[in-house]
Amino acid sequence: MNANGPRLPRAQRLKLRLINLYPPFLGAGIRVRWGENGRSADVRLKLHWWNRNFVGVHFGGSLYALTDPFFVLLLMRQLGWGYIVWNKGAEIRFLKPGRGTLHAHFEMPPERVESIRNEADENERLEPVFTAELKDEAGDVVARVDQTLYVRRKPAARRR
């Protein structure tokens, strides 16, 4: 156990690491490192010749891909199989050109998960918004992404 909760079993940690072999991430140059408790992820995107745009900076699609699944995966893992979690929409704001290696940190605090669980249990659905910042090596924010998730409790007949 660490300060952020119990460590994930080895088999679960291995499954999470396999996301680095996901072809769109491999092609974009995205690497993922999961927190030991499965409540966070650190994602890195190095600038390569194959992921530059025509002016020599990170391709905008790669910046979005860097953020796409992580809030969904972190929330799904903590809510469990009794809930549906989808990425409903996103807005990306490019603040400055992305050069070099970019980083983003994703975290799903237990308090936020419980709040979402309680609201999903009481209402038909909810659409929480999460924000991720993509930073360069100097720590400057290159882009900010707001993701809207769709969350609802599964009908009782379909729950596992």
pLDDT digits (tens, 9 = 90+) for 40-94: 999 999 998 888 888 988 888 888 888 988 999 999 989 988 999 999 999 999 9
**Domain, as residue range, for 88:** 10-158
Confidence of residue 12 (pLDDT cuts 50, 70, 90): low
User: In this structure, is residue 1 part of a structural domain?
Assistant: no
User: In this structure, is residue 4 part of a structural domain?
Assistant: no
Contact 143, 98 (CB under 8 A): yes
Q: What is the CATH number of the domain that holds 91?
A: 3.10.129.10
User: In this structure, is residue 95 part of a structural domain?
Assistant: yes
Dihedral through CA 117, CA 113, CA 95, CA 35, nearest 10?
A: -140
User: In this structure, is residue 33 part of a structural domain?
Assistant: yes
Q: If we measure between CA atoms, which residue out of 156, 111, 149 comes closest to residue 131?
A: 149
* pLDDT at residue 8 in the model: 55
Q: If we measure between CA atoms, which residue out of 73, 77, 96, 99 comes closest to residue 86?
A: 73
User: In this structure, is residue 5 part of a structural domain?
Assistant: no
User: Exposed e or buried b for every residue in 121-141, given b needs 16+ CB within 10 A?
Assistant: eeeeeeebebebebbbeeeee
User: In this structure, is residue 3 part of a structural domain?
Assistant: no
3 state SS of 64: helix
Q: How many CB atoms lie within 10 A of CB 28?
A: 22
User: In this structure, is residue 71 part of a structural domain?
Assistant: yes
* pLDDT at residue 1 in the model: 44
* pLDDT at residue 4 in the model: 52
CB within 8 Å of 36: residues ≥ 6 apart = 2, 4, 7, 8, 13
Confidence of residue 156 (pLDDT cuts 50, 70, 90): confident
Q: How many domains does the chain have?
A: 1
User: In this structure, is residue 2 part of a structural domain?
Assistant: no
